[in-house]
Structure 1
Amino acid sequence: MVDRPVVIRDRGGWLEASGPPHRALRPLLRAYQGYFEPVAVPARMRTLPTRGAVVIVNLGPPMRLATPSDAATEYGSFVAGLHDGHGEYTTPGGQHGIQLDVTPLGAYTLLGVPMARITNAAAELPDVLGAGAAELVERLAETPSWAARFDLMDAFLLRRLEIGPVPAPEVARAWRLLDGTGGAVGVARLAEEVGWSRRHLTQRFTEQAGLPPKVMGRVLRFRRAIGLLSNGGLGPAEAAAACGYYDQAHLNREFRALAGCTPSQLLGGMLEEQRTTTAAEPA
Protein backbone atom coordinates (compact mmCIF):
# COMPACT_ATOMS: atom_id res chain seq x y z
CA MET A 1 0.00 0.00 0.00
CA VAL A 2 1.33 3.44 -1.01
CA ASP A 3 0.72 6.52 1.12
CA ARG A 4 -0.33 8.68 -1.81
CA PRO A 5 -2.36 11.87 -2.08
CA VAL A 6 -5.54 11.51 -4.12
CA VAL A 7 -6.80 14.78 -5.56
CA ILE A 8 -10.45 15.01 -6.60
CA ARG A 9 -11.55 17.83 -8.90
CA ASP A 10 -14.90 18.86 -10.33
CA ARG A 11 -14.39 19.06 -14.09
CA GLY A 12 -17.84 20.33 -14.98
CA GLY A 13 -20.25 17.40 -15.23
CA TRP A 14 -17.72 14.79 -14.15
CA LEU A 15 -15.29 14.20 -11.31
CA GLU A 16 -11.58 13.49 -11.72
CA ALA A 17 -9.54 11.59 -9.11
CA SER A 18 -5.78 11.56 -9.68
CA GLY A 19 -2.89 10.07 -7.76
CA PRO A 20 0.70 8.98 -8.40
CA PRO A 21 1.46 5.31 -9.05
CA HIS A 22 4.06 3.31 -7.15
CA ARG A 23 7.55 4.81 -7.45
CA ALA A 24 8.76 1.90 -9.60
CA LEU A 25 6.00 2.59 -12.12
CA ARG A 26 6.45 6.36 -12.45
CA PRO A 27 8.98 6.22 -15.31
CA LEU A 28 6.27 4.38 -17.27
CA LEU A 29 3.17 6.42 -16.36
CA ARG A 30 2.80 9.70 -14.55
CA ALA A 31 -0.54 9.26 -12.78
CA TYR A 32 -3.67 7.25 -12.27
CA GLN A 33 -6.60 9.26 -13.59
CA GLY A 34 -9.94 8.14 -12.21
CA TYR A 35 -13.14 9.59 -13.59
CA PHE A 36 -16.83 9.46 -12.70
CA GLU A 37 -19.75 11.08 -14.49
CA PRO A 38 -22.71 11.23 -12.07
CA VAL A 39 -25.21 12.31 -14.73
CA ALA A 40 -25.37 10.43 -18.02
CA VAL A 41 -24.71 12.93 -20.81
CA PRO A 42 -23.86 11.46 -24.24
CA ALA A 43 -20.52 12.73 -25.54
CA ARG A 44 -18.45 12.70 -28.71
CA MET A 45 -14.75 13.62 -28.79
CA ARG A 46 -11.96 13.71 -31.35
CA THR A 47 -8.91 11.58 -30.52
CA LEU A 48 -5.43 12.75 -31.50
CA PRO A 49 -2.02 11.11 -31.88
CA THR A 50 -0.24 11.05 -28.52
CA ARG A 51 3.24 10.22 -27.22
CA GLY A 52 2.07 6.98 -25.61
CA ALA A 53 -0.54 4.25 -25.31
CA VAL A 54 -3.84 4.73 -23.49
CA VAL A 55 -5.33 2.10 -21.20
CA ILE A 56 -8.96 2.45 -20.10
CA VAL A 57 -10.10 0.32 -17.16
CA ASN A 58 -13.84 0.75 -17.62
CA LEU A 59 -16.19 0.53 -14.66
CA GLY A 60 -19.15 2.03 -16.51
CA PRO A 61 -21.01 1.48 -19.80
CA PRO A 62 -19.10 0.56 -22.96
CA MET A 63 -17.88 3.27 -25.33
CA ARG A 64 -17.46 3.30 -29.10
CA LEU A 65 -13.99 4.04 -30.41
CA ALA A 66 -12.97 4.68 -34.01
CA THR A 67 -9.23 4.44 -34.72
CA PRO A 68 -7.24 5.38 -37.84
CA SER A 69 -7.39 1.76 -39.03
CA ASP A 70 -10.72 0.52 -37.64
CA ALA A 71 -14.34 1.62 -37.87
CA ALA A 72 -16.19 2.49 -34.68
CA THR A 73 -16.22 -0.52 -32.34
CA GLU A 74 -17.74 -0.90 -28.90
CA TYR A 75 -15.26 -1.60 -26.10
CA GLY A 76 -15.38 -2.26 -22.39
CA SER A 77 -11.90 -2.00 -20.88
CA PHE A 78 -9.34 -1.58 -23.64
CA VAL A 79 -5.88 -0.44 -24.69
CA ALA A 80 -5.36 1.95 -27.60
CA GLY A 81 -1.93 1.76 -29.18
CA LEU A 82 0.04 4.63 -30.67
CA HIS A 83 -1.66 6.44 -33.53
CA ASP A 84 -0.41 8.57 -36.39
CA GLY A 85 -3.89 9.86 -37.22
CA HIS A 86 -7.11 11.01 -35.63
CA GLY A 87 -10.16 9.06 -34.54
CA GLU A 88 -13.23 9.52 -32.39
CA TYR A 89 -14.96 8.06 -29.40
CA THR A 90 -18.59 8.34 -28.38
CA THR A 91 -20.16 7.46 -25.05
CA PRO A 92 -23.74 7.13 -23.81
CA GLY A 93 -22.77 9.04 -20.65
CA GLY A 94 -22.39 7.83 -17.09
CA GLN A 95 -18.73 6.99 -17.67
CA HIS A 96 -16.70 5.60 -14.77
CA GLY A 97 -13.20 4.16 -14.73
CA ILE A 98 -9.44 4.72 -14.66
CA GLN A 99 -7.25 5.98 -17.49
CA LEU A 100 -3.53 5.29 -17.79
CA ASP A 101 -1.34 7.23 -20.21
CA VAL A 102 1.67 4.95 -20.63
CA THR A 103 4.96 5.61 -22.43
CA PRO A 104 5.45 3.46 -25.55
CA LEU A 105 8.19 1.33 -23.99
CA GLY A 106 6.33 1.22 -20.67
CA ALA A 107 3.37 -0.23 -22.53
CA TYR A 108 5.66 -2.76 -24.25
CA THR A 109 6.73 -4.03 -20.83
CA LEU A 110 3.41 -3.83 -18.97
CA LEU A 111 1.29 -5.26 -21.78
CA GLY A 112 3.89 -7.84 -22.75
CA VAL A 113 3.17 -7.67 -26.49
CA PRO A 114 4.91 -6.01 -29.45
CA MET A 115 3.44 -2.52 -29.64
CA ALA A 116 3.27 -2.78 -33.44
CA ARG A 117 0.43 -5.24 -32.88
CA ILE A 118 -1.90 -2.44 -31.77
CA THR A 119 -0.58 0.50 -33.79
CA ASN A 120 -3.50 2.65 -35.02
CA ALA A 121 -5.84 0.20 -33.34
CA ALA A 122 -7.34 -0.85 -30.02
CA ALA A 123 -7.94 -4.16 -28.26
CA GLU A 124 -10.03 -5.34 -25.35
CA LEU A 125 -7.85 -5.48 -22.24
CA PRO A 126 -8.46 -9.21 -21.53
CA ASP A 127 -7.42 -10.03 -25.11
CA VAL A 128 -4.01 -8.51 -24.34
CA LEU A 129 -3.54 -9.28 -20.64
CA GLY A 130 -5.62 -12.42 -20.25
CA ALA A 131 -8.25 -13.33 -17.67
CA GLY A 132 -6.42 -11.41 -14.93
CA ALA A 133 -7.57 -8.16 -16.54
CA ALA A 134 -11.23 -9.10 -16.23
CA GLU A 135 -10.70 -10.06 -12.59
CA LEU A 136 -8.98 -6.71 -11.96
CA VAL A 137 -11.96 -4.81 -13.39
CA GLU A 138 -14.35 -6.75 -11.16
CA ARG A 139 -12.28 -6.05 -8.04
CA LEU A 140 -11.98 -2.36 -8.89
CA ALA A 141 -15.74 -2.11 -9.36
CA GLU A 142 -16.27 -3.60 -5.88
CA THR A 143 -13.75 -1.24 -4.23
CA PRO A 144 -15.32 1.98 -2.91
CA SER A 145 -12.37 4.39 -2.56
CA TRP A 146 -10.03 5.74 -5.21
CA ALA A 147 -6.98 5.26 -2.99
CA ALA A 148 -7.78 1.57 -2.58
CA ARG A 149 -8.39 1.25 -6.32
CA PHE A 150 -5.01 2.77 -7.05
CA ASP A 151 -3.46 0.27 -4.61
CA LEU A 152 -5.01 -2.53 -6.67
CA MET A 153 -3.62 -0.99 -9.84
CA ASP A 154 -0.16 -0.82 -8.25
CA ALA A 155 -0.22 -4.49 -7.29
CA PHE A 156 -1.39 -5.58 -10.74
CA LEU A 157 1.08 -3.45 -12.68
CA LEU A 158 4.05 -4.26 -10.45
CA ARG A 159 3.50 -7.94 -11.23
CA ARG A 160 3.41 -7.08 -14.92
CA LEU A 161 6.61 -5.08 -14.52
CA GLU A 162 8.40 -8.10 -13.05
CA ILE A 163 7.50 -10.48 -15.88
CA GLY A 164 7.27 -8.13 -18.87
CA PRO A 165 9.86 -7.88 -21.67
CA VAL A 166 12.62 -5.28 -21.33
CA PRO A 167 13.11 -2.91 -24.29
CA ALA A 168 16.45 -3.08 -26.07
CA PRO A 169 18.81 -0.43 -24.63
CA GLU A 170 19.28 0.97 -28.14
CA VAL A 171 15.52 1.40 -28.60
CA ALA A 172 15.24 2.99 -25.16
CA ARG A 173 18.02 5.46 -25.99
CA ALA A 174 16.45 6.33 -29.34
CA TRP A 175 13.11 6.98 -27.59
CA ARG A 176 14.74 9.25 -24.99
CA LEU A 177 16.47 11.25 -27.73
CA LEU A 178 13.28 11.63 -29.73
CA ASP A 179 11.10 12.48 -26.75
CA GLY A 180 13.63 14.83 -25.19
CA THR A 181 13.94 16.90 -28.36
CA GLY A 182 10.27 16.94 -29.30
CA GLY A 183 10.93 14.77 -32.34
CA ALA A 184 13.72 16.95 -33.69
CA VAL A 185 16.27 14.14 -34.21
CA GLY A 186 16.40 12.44 -37.61
CA VAL A 187 16.61 8.68 -38.12
CA ALA A 188 20.18 8.84 -39.45
CA ARG A 189 21.43 10.56 -36.31
CA LEU A 190 19.43 8.20 -34.07
CA ALA A 191 21.00 5.20 -35.79
CA GLU A 192 24.45 6.71 -35.39
CA GLU A 193 23.83 7.45 -31.71
CA VAL A 194 22.75 3.88 -30.87
CA GLY A 195 25.18 2.09 -33.20
CA TRP A 196 22.63 0.36 -35.42
CA SER A 197 21.82 0.63 -39.10
CA ARG A 198 18.80 2.76 -39.99
CA ARG A 199 16.95 -0.31 -41.20
CA HIS A 200 17.60 -2.33 -38.06
CA LEU A 201 16.70 0.59 -35.79
CA THR A 202 13.46 1.19 -37.66
CA GLN A 203 12.50 -2.48 -37.43
CA ARG A 204 13.24 -2.90 -33.71
CA PHE A 205 11.90 0.53 -32.72
CA THR A 206 8.62 -0.07 -34.57
CA GLU A 207 8.19 -3.47 -32.94
CA GLN A 208 8.78 -2.24 -29.40
CA ALA A 209 7.51 1.37 -29.51
CA GLY A 210 4.69 0.98 -32.00
CA LEU A 211 5.63 3.55 -34.64
CA PRO A 212 8.72 3.90 -36.83
CA PRO A 213 11.13 6.49 -35.42
CA LYS A 214 10.47 8.90 -38.31
CA VAL A 215 6.71 8.76 -37.68
CA MET A 216 7.21 8.98 -33.93
CA GLY A 217 9.19 12.17 -34.48
CA ARG A 218 6.33 13.54 -36.57
CA VAL A 219 3.84 12.86 -33.78
CA LEU A 220 6.10 14.41 -31.14
CA ARG A 221 6.54 17.56 -33.23
CA PHE A 222 2.78 17.77 -33.63
CA ARG A 223 2.22 17.44 -29.87
CA ARG A 224 4.87 20.08 -29.20
CA ALA A 225 3.19 22.43 -31.65
CA ILE A 226 -0.14 21.99 -29.85
CA GLY A 227 1.56 22.86 -26.55
CA LEU A 228 3.26 25.96 -27.95
CA LEU A 229 0.08 27.20 -29.58
CA SER A 230 -2.19 26.54 -26.60
CA ASN A 231 0.07 27.19 -23.60
CA GLY A 232 3.24 28.77 -24.97
CA GLY A 233 1.65 31.91 -26.37
CA LEU A 234 3.19 31.47 -29.83
CA GLY A 235 1.49 32.22 -33.11
CA PRO A 236 1.31 29.63 -35.92
CA ALA A 237 4.37 30.95 -37.77
CA GLU A 238 6.47 31.04 -34.59
CA ALA A 239 5.33 27.56 -33.54
CA ALA A 240 6.10 26.22 -37.01
CA ALA A 241 9.66 27.53 -36.83
CA ALA A 242 10.18 26.26 -33.27
CA CYS A 243 8.99 22.74 -34.14
CA GLY A 244 11.01 22.35 -37.33
CA TYR A 245 8.25 22.79 -39.92
CA TYR A 246 9.24 24.47 -43.20
CA ASP A 247 6.65 27.20 -42.74
CA GLN A 248 3.13 27.86 -41.44
CA ALA A 249 1.60 26.12 -44.45
CA HIS A 250 3.55 22.97 -43.56
CA LEU A 251 2.25 23.15 -39.98
CA ASN A 252 -1.32 23.53 -41.28
CA ARG A 253 -0.93 20.47 -43.53
CA GLU A 254 0.38 18.40 -40.62
CA PHE A 255 -2.58 19.39 -38.44
CA ARG A 256 -5.02 18.42 -41.18
CA ALA A 257 -3.26 15.08 -41.64
CA LEU A 258 -2.88 14.19 -37.96
CA ALA A 259 -5.89 15.95 -36.37
CA GLY A 260 -8.31 16.19 -39.26
CA CYS A 261 -8.72 19.95 -38.80
CA THR A 262 -6.84 23.24 -38.83
CA PRO A 263 -4.87 24.49 -35.81
CA SER A 264 -7.47 27.19 -35.15
CA GLN A 265 -10.31 24.66 -35.22
CA LEU A 266 -8.49 22.32 -32.86
CA LEU A 267 -7.48 25.05 -30.42
CA GLY A 268 -10.96 26.58 -30.51
CA GLY A 269 -12.44 23.27 -29.38
CA MET A 270 -9.81 22.91 -26.64
CA LEU A 271 -10.49 26.46 -25.41
CA GLU A 272 -14.22 25.79 -25.21
CA GLU A 273 -13.55 22.69 -23.10
CA GLN A 274 -11.32 24.73 -20.75
CA ARG A 275 -13.98 27.42 -20.35
CA THR A 276 -16.58 24.82 -19.46
CA THR A 277 -14.26 23.20 -16.91
CA THR A 278 -13.21 26.48 -15.31
CA ALA A 279 -16.79 27.67 -14.97
CA ALA A 280 -17.74 24.46 -13.19
CA GLU A 281 -14.84 24.23 -10.76
CA PRO A 282 -15.59 25.25 -7.15
CA ALA A 283 -13.98 28.43 -5.84
Structure 2
Amino acid sequence: MSMQTGGREPVSVWEVASPTRPRLPAGVGMAGFRDSGRAEVGQRVIPHPSVMVAVEFGARPPVVSDAAGRQQRGSMVAGLGLGFGGAAWVRGENVECLQLRLSPLVAGAVLGVPPAELDGVVPLDAVWGRAVGRIREQLSEAPSWQVRFALVEKLLEPAGGARTLLDPEVAWAWRRIVGGRGTVRVEDLAGEVGWSRKRLWARFRSQIGLPPKRAAQLVRFDRAVHLLVAGEAAARVAAETGYADQSHLHRDVAAFAGITPSAVTREPWLAVDDVAWPDRTG
Protein backbone atom coordinates (compact mmCIF):
# COMPACT_ATOMS: atom_id res chain seq x y z
CA MET A 1 0.00 0.00 0.00
CA SER A 2 1.28 3.49 -0.84
CA MET A 3 0.56 6.53 1.29
CA GLN A 4 1.42 10.13 0.42
CA THR A 5 2.42 12.46 3.24
CA GLY A 6 3.39 16.09 3.46
CA GLY A 7 1.21 19.16 2.93
CA ARG A 8 3.79 21.04 0.85
CA GLU A 9 6.41 20.12 -1.72
CA PRO A 10 8.52 18.08 -1.53
CA VAL A 11 6.24 15.18 -0.71
CA SER A 12 7.11 11.71 0.43
CA VAL A 13 5.25 8.69 -0.91
CA TRP A 14 5.64 5.72 1.37
CA GLU A 15 5.11 2.16 0.27
CA VAL A 16 3.99 0.30 3.39
CA ALA A 17 4.03 -3.50 3.47
CA SER A 18 3.07 -6.07 6.10
CA PRO A 19 3.48 -9.87 6.17
CA THR A 20 0.52 -11.63 4.57
CA ARG A 21 0.82 -14.71 6.81
CA PRO A 22 3.07 -13.69 9.69
CA ARG A 23 4.88 -16.40 11.62
CA LEU A 24 6.49 -14.26 14.27
CA PRO A 25 7.20 -14.87 17.94
CA ALA A 26 4.61 -13.40 20.31
CA GLY A 27 5.30 -9.74 20.98
CA VAL A 28 6.99 -9.08 17.62
CA GLY A 29 5.56 -6.95 14.80
CA MET A 30 7.12 -6.35 11.40
CA ALA A 31 6.56 -3.95 8.50
CA GLY A 32 8.42 -2.69 5.45
CA PHE A 33 8.79 0.89 4.25
CA ARG A 34 10.03 2.37 1.00
CA ASP A 35 10.20 6.12 0.41
CA SER A 36 9.83 6.92 -3.27
CA GLY A 37 9.61 10.67 -2.74
CA ARG A 38 11.19 13.06 -5.20
CA ALA A 39 13.47 14.77 -2.70
CA GLU A 40 15.11 14.24 0.64
CA VAL A 41 12.61 14.62 3.45
CA GLY A 42 12.71 14.57 7.21
CA GLN A 43 10.19 12.74 9.35
CA ARG A 44 9.54 12.88 13.06
CA VAL A 45 9.60 9.47 14.77
CA ILE A 46 6.95 9.48 17.50
CA PRO A 47 7.72 7.41 20.64
CA HIS A 48 5.66 4.26 21.10
CA PRO A 49 5.49 1.51 23.75
CA SER A 50 7.84 -0.94 22.07
CA VAL A 51 11.51 -1.39 21.26
CA MET A 52 12.18 -0.46 17.62
CA VAL A 53 14.63 -2.11 15.23
CA ALA A 54 15.13 -0.63 11.75
CA VAL A 55 17.26 -2.48 9.20
CA GLU A 56 17.85 -0.26 6.19
CA PHE A 57 19.03 -1.74 2.89
CA GLY A 58 18.74 1.10 0.37
CA ALA A 59 21.52 2.71 -1.61
CA ARG A 60 21.64 5.78 0.65
CA PRO A 61 21.43 5.11 4.40
CA PRO A 62 19.17 7.52 6.30
CA VAL A 63 20.39 9.61 9.22
CA VAL A 64 18.54 9.40 12.54
CA SER A 65 18.86 12.21 15.10
CA ASP A 66 17.58 11.70 18.63
CA ALA A 67 16.27 14.38 20.96
CA ALA A 68 19.73 14.85 22.49
CA GLY A 69 21.16 15.75 19.08
CA ARG A 70 23.10 12.51 18.62
CA GLN A 71 23.11 11.15 15.08
CA GLN A 72 23.22 7.59 13.76
CA ARG A 73 23.51 6.59 10.14
CA GLY A 74 21.88 3.48 8.78
CA SER A 75 20.35 0.59 10.70
CA MET A 76 19.53 1.27 14.32
CA VAL A 77 17.72 0.09 17.44
CA ALA A 78 15.88 2.31 19.91
CA GLY A 79 14.83 1.56 23.46
CA LEU A 80 11.26 1.60 24.72
CA GLY A 81 9.65 4.89 23.73
CA LEU A 82 12.97 5.95 22.14
CA GLY A 83 14.32 6.32 25.68
CA PHE A 84 13.66 9.40 27.78
CA GLY A 85 14.35 12.09 25.20
CA GLY A 86 11.15 12.20 23.18
CA ALA A 87 10.81 12.16 19.40
CA ALA A 88 13.64 11.49 16.96
CA TRP A 89 14.09 12.56 13.34
CA VAL A 90 14.96 10.46 10.31
CA ARG A 91 16.25 12.12 7.14
CA GLY A 92 17.04 10.51 3.83
CA GLU A 93 16.10 10.03 0.21
CA ASN A 94 14.62 6.86 -1.30
CA VAL A 95 14.84 5.10 2.05
CA GLU A 96 14.16 1.37 2.18
CA CYS A 97 13.95 -0.39 5.52
CA LEU A 98 12.39 -3.26 7.37
CA GLN A 99 11.23 -2.40 10.83
CA LEU A 100 10.50 -4.53 13.88
CA ARG A 101 8.52 -3.49 16.92
CA LEU A 102 9.30 -5.59 19.96
CA SER A 103 7.41 -5.84 23.20
CA PRO A 104 9.87 -5.23 26.04
CA LEU A 105 8.87 -8.69 27.30
CA VAL A 106 10.62 -10.32 24.32
CA ALA A 107 13.11 -7.64 23.25
CA GLY A 108 15.91 -9.11 25.35
CA ALA A 109 15.51 -12.55 23.74
CA VAL A 110 15.45 -11.06 20.22
CA LEU A 111 18.28 -8.58 20.65
CA GLY A 112 20.47 -10.48 23.07
CA VAL A 113 20.63 -7.51 25.44
CA PRO A 114 18.08 -6.13 27.94
CA PRO A 115 16.07 -3.11 26.72
CA ALA A 116 17.51 -1.05 29.57
CA GLU A 117 20.95 -1.24 27.95
CA LEU A 118 19.72 0.69 24.92
CA ASP A 119 20.59 4.33 25.51
CA GLY A 120 18.05 5.99 23.23
CA VAL A 121 18.87 5.36 19.56
CA VAL A 122 21.99 3.26 18.94
CA PRO A 123 23.56 1.60 15.87
CA LEU A 124 22.17 -1.86 15.26
CA ASP A 125 25.63 -3.32 14.67
CA ALA A 126 26.50 -2.37 18.26
CA VAL A 127 23.95 -5.03 19.26
CA TRP A 128 24.01 -7.59 16.41
CA GLY A 129 27.56 -7.01 15.21
CA ARG A 130 28.64 -8.18 11.75
CA ALA A 131 25.35 -9.99 11.19
CA VAL A 132 23.76 -6.64 10.29
CA GLY A 133 25.79 -6.35 7.09
CA ARG A 134 24.78 -9.85 6.00
CA ILE A 135 21.11 -9.18 6.76
CA ARG A 136 21.19 -5.89 4.82
CA GLU A 137 22.67 -7.64 1.80
CA GLN A 138 20.04 -10.38 1.87
CA LEU A 139 17.20 -7.88 2.19
CA SER A 140 18.57 -5.82 -0.69
CA GLU A 141 18.80 -8.87 -2.96
CA ALA A 142 15.34 -10.23 -2.07
CA PRO A 143 12.79 -9.79 -4.92
CA SER A 144 9.78 -8.80 -2.78
CA TRP A 145 8.64 -7.71 0.66
CA GLN A 146 7.14 -11.10 1.41
CA VAL A 147 10.50 -12.78 0.72
CA ARG A 148 12.16 -10.27 3.03
CA PHE A 149 9.61 -10.95 5.76
CA ALA A 150 10.15 -14.70 5.43
CA LEU A 151 13.90 -14.18 5.73
CA VAL A 152 13.55 -12.19 8.95
CA GLU A 153 10.98 -14.62 10.36
CA LYS A 154 13.56 -17.37 9.89
CA LEU A 155 16.19 -15.30 11.68
CA LEU A 156 13.84 -14.72 14.60
CA GLU A 157 12.83 -18.36 15.08
CA PRO A 158 15.35 -19.01 17.89
CA ALA A 159 13.93 -16.07 19.86
CA GLY A 160 10.51 -17.72 19.88
CA GLY A 161 11.76 -20.50 22.12
CA ALA A 162 14.21 -18.43 24.13
CA ARG A 163 13.78 -18.09 27.87
CA THR A 164 12.47 -14.73 28.99
CA LEU A 165 14.97 -12.51 30.72
CA LEU A 166 12.33 -10.88 32.92
CA ASP A 167 11.11 -11.64 36.40
CA PRO A 168 7.49 -12.90 36.28
CA GLU A 169 6.49 -10.01 38.56
CA VAL A 170 7.96 -7.45 36.15
CA ALA A 171 6.26 -9.06 33.17
CA TRP A 172 2.97 -9.08 35.06
CA ALA A 173 3.33 -5.39 35.95
CA TRP A 174 3.99 -4.49 32.29
CA ARG A 175 0.92 -6.44 31.17
CA ARG A 176 -1.17 -4.66 33.81
CA ILE A 177 0.01 -1.29 32.53
CA VAL A 178 -0.74 -2.19 28.90
CA GLY A 179 -4.06 -3.85 29.75
CA GLY A 180 -5.09 -0.75 31.69
CA ARG A 181 -4.04 1.47 28.76
CA GLY A 182 -1.66 3.35 31.01
CA THR A 183 -4.29 4.38 33.54
CA VAL A 184 -3.52 1.86 36.30
CA ARG A 185 -2.30 3.18 39.64
CA VAL A 186 1.36 2.26 39.42
CA GLU A 187 1.68 2.88 43.17
CA ASP A 188 -0.49 -0.21 43.69
CA LEU A 189 1.53 -2.57 41.47
CA ALA A 190 4.16 -3.43 44.08
CA GLY A 191 1.53 -4.54 46.57
CA GLU A 192 -0.22 -6.60 43.92
CA VAL A 193 2.94 -8.61 43.17
CA GLY A 194 3.99 -8.81 46.83
CA TRP A 195 7.17 -6.77 46.44
CA SER A 196 8.32 -3.54 48.01
CA ARG A 197 7.90 -0.45 45.86
CA LYS A 198 11.67 0.06 45.75
CA ARG A 199 12.30 -3.49 44.55
CA LEU A 200 9.67 -3.40 41.80
CA TRP A 201 10.76 0.02 40.57
CA ALA A 202 14.42 -1.07 40.38
CA ARG A 203 13.71 -4.41 38.70
CA PHE A 204 11.16 -2.93 36.29
CA ARG A 205 13.51 -0.20 35.13
CA SER A 206 16.50 -2.53 34.77
CA GLN A 207 14.50 -5.09 32.75
CA ILE A 208 11.95 -2.99 30.84
CA GLY A 209 14.03 0.14 30.30
CA LEU A 210 11.74 2.71 31.91
CA PRO A 211 10.36 3.10 35.45
CA PRO A 212 6.71 2.03 35.85
CA LYS A 213 5.29 5.56 35.94
CA ARG A 214 7.06 6.59 32.74
CA ALA A 215 6.00 3.34 31.07
CA ALA A 216 2.37 4.01 31.99
CA GLN A 217 2.63 7.57 30.65
CA LEU A 218 4.01 6.23 27.37
CA VAL A 219 1.20 3.69 26.94
CA ARG A 220 -1.44 6.31 27.72
CA PHE A 221 0.20 8.83 25.36
CA ASP A 222 0.26 6.27 22.55
CA ARG A 223 -3.46 5.66 22.83
CA ALA A 224 -4.22 9.37 23.12
CA VAL A 225 -2.30 10.43 19.99
CA HIS A 226 -3.95 7.73 17.90
CA LEU A 227 -7.37 8.95 19.02
CA LEU A 228 -6.31 12.48 18.06
CA VAL A 229 -5.19 11.25 14.64
CA ALA A 230 -8.57 9.52 14.26
CA GLY A 231 -10.23 12.92 14.59
CA GLU A 232 -11.33 12.95 18.22
CA ALA A 233 -11.36 16.35 19.94
CA ALA A 234 -8.54 16.96 22.40
CA ALA A 235 -10.90 17.56 25.33
CA ARG A 236 -12.70 14.29 24.70
CA VAL A 237 -9.41 12.41 24.27
CA ALA A 238 -8.11 13.80 27.56
CA ALA A 239 -11.22 12.61 29.40
CA GLU A 240 -11.32 9.23 27.68
CA THR A 241 -7.66 8.38 28.28
CA GLY A 242 -7.44 9.36 31.93
CA TYR A 243 -5.76 12.77 31.82
CA ALA A 244 -6.69 15.27 34.50
CA ASP A 245 -7.62 17.82 31.84
CA GLN A 246 -6.74 19.02 28.35
CA SER A 247 -3.68 20.89 29.63
CA HIS A 248 -2.36 17.66 31.10
CA LEU A 249 -2.73 15.97 27.71
CA HIS A 250 -0.98 18.92 26.05
CA ARG A 251 2.01 18.59 28.41
CA ASP A 252 2.40 14.87 27.76
CA VAL A 253 2.20 15.28 23.98
CA ALA A 254 4.79 18.05 24.16
CA ALA A 255 7.05 15.91 26.37
CA PHE A 256 6.91 12.81 24.17
CA ALA A 257 6.50 14.29 20.67
CA GLY A 258 7.79 17.86 21.02
CA ILE A 259 4.70 19.36 19.39
CA THR A 260 1.09 20.29 20.23
CA PRO A 261 -1.91 17.92 20.10
CA SER A 262 -3.20 19.67 16.97
CA ALA A 263 0.17 19.34 15.24
CA VAL A 264 0.61 15.68 16.14
CA THR A 265 -2.50 14.77 14.13
CA ARG A 266 -0.59 15.64 10.93
CA GLU A 267 2.42 13.46 11.66
CA PRO A 268 3.08 10.92 8.85
CA TRP A 269 4.56 8.46 11.36
CA LEU A 270 1.17 8.09 13.01
CA ALA A 271 -0.84 8.17 9.80
CA VAL A 272 0.58 4.82 8.62
CA ASP A 273 0.34 3.02 11.97
CA ASP A 274 -2.99 1.29 11.38
CA VAL A 275 -1.66 -0.07 8.07
CA ALA A 276 1.81 -1.08 9.24
CA TRP A 277 0.93 -2.20 12.78
CA PRO A 278 -2.68 -3.39 12.94
CA ASP A 279 -1.94 -5.19 16.24
CA ARG A 280 0.07 -2.40 17.80
CA THR A 281 0.29 -2.04 21.58
CA GLY A 282 -2.29 0.23 23.22
When normalised by structure 2's length, the TM-score is 0.84
Alignment of 1:11 with 2:3, yes or no, is yes
Contact 2:45 2:90 in 1 (8 A): no
Other-structure match for 1:92: 92
1:20 CA drift (Å): 5.5
Look up the match of 1:55. 53
Q: Partner residue of 2:193?
A: 194
Code of the aligned partner of 2:224:
A
* AA at the equivalent of 1:179: V
Distance 1:139 1:240, change over 3 A: same
Report if the CA contact (8 A) 1:64-1:72 is conserved.
Answer: no
Q: Is the 8 A contact 1:56 1:100 kept in 2?
A: yes
Amino acid at match of 2:50: G
Q: Structure 2 residue aligned with 1:249, among 243, 247, 250?
A: 247
Per-residue CA deviations over 1:195-248 (Å, capped at 9, x if unaligned) read 2211111111112211111100111111121123232x5422222222222211
Partners of 2:20 and 2:44 in 1: CA distance: 27
- Offset, 1:161: 3.8
Equivalent residue for 2:141? 142
How do 1:171-186 and structure 2 match up within 5 A? 171-186=170-185
Q: Which moved more, 1:235-244 or 1:179-188?
A: 235-244
Q: For 1:10 and 1:111, how far apart are their aligned partners in 2?
A: 30
Structure 1 partner of 2:261: 263
Give the 3 Å change call, closer, same or farther, for CA 269–137 of structure 1 in structure 2: closer
> Structure 1 residues 49, 29: CA separation in 2 closer, same or farther (over 3 Å shift)?
same
The answer to whether residue 206 in structure 2 is matched with residue 214 in structure 1 is no
Instruction: Kindly provide the CA deviation profile for residues 163-205 of structure 1, in whole angstroms up to 9, marking residues without a partner as x.
Output: 5643221111111100011111122221122222111111111
* Residues 104-134 of structure 1 deviation map (CA, whole Å, 9 limit, x = unaligned): 2221221121211114x11211210222232
Cα contact 2:72–2:122 (8 A) shared by 1: no
SS in structure 1 of the partner of residue 165 of structure 2: coil
Q: Please give the alpha-carbon distance, in whole angstroms, between the structure 2 residues aligned to 1:272 and 1:178.
A: 22
CA distance in 2, matches of 1:24, 1:63: 26
C-alpha spacing 1:17/1:76, structure 2 compared with 1 (3 Å): same
Identity, in percent, stands at 35
Could you tell me whether the CA contact under 8 Å between 1:80 and 1:122 is conserved in 2? yes
In the alignment, residue 77 of structure 1 is paired with which amino acid?
S
Which ranges in structure 1 are unaligned for 5 or more consecutive residues? 1-8, 278-283
1:35-50 equivalent positions in 2, closer than 5 A: 35-50=33-48
- Aligned partners of 1:272 and 1:171: how far apart in 2? 29
CA distance in 2 between counterparts of 1:52 and 1:43 reads 25
- Verify the 8 A CA contact 2:109 2:163 in the aligned structure 1: yes
Q: Determine if contact 2:201/2:212 at 8 Å carries over to the other structure.
A: yes
- 1:4 alignment counterpart: none
Task: Tell me, in whole angstroms, the C-alpha distance in 2 between the residues paired with 1:234 and 1:20.
Answer: 31
Structure 1 pair 271/73, CA: closer, same or farther in 2 (3 Å)?
A: closer
Summarize deviations over 1:20-71 as a string: whole Å, max 9, x none. 575451x2123x2112234552111222221101110100122222223x32
Q: Is the Cα contact below 8 Å between 2:44 and 2:269 reproduced in 1?
A: no
Partner of 1:71, secondary structure, is coil
Q: Aligned with 2:97: secondary structure?
A: strand
- Length, aligned pairs only: 262
Pair 1:196–1:23, CA change in 2 (3 A): farther
Q: 2:63·2:92 contact (CA, 8 Å) conserved in 1?
A: no
What residue is the counterpart of 1:6 in the other structure? none
Among 32, 44, 69, the alignment partner of 1:71 is 69
* Kept after mapping to 2: 8 A contact 1:42/1:90: no
Sort the Cα spacing of 1:268 and 1:95 in 2 relative to 1 into closer, same or farther, 3 A: closer
Letter in 2 for 1:260: G
Distance in 2, matches of 1:57 and 1:271, equals: 17
- Taking the aligned partners of 2:110 and 2:34, their CA distance within structure 1 comes to 25
d(CA) in 1 for partners of 2:271, 2:153: 31
Structure 1 residues 272 and 18: CA distance shift in structure 2, 3 A? closer
Partner of 2:32: 34
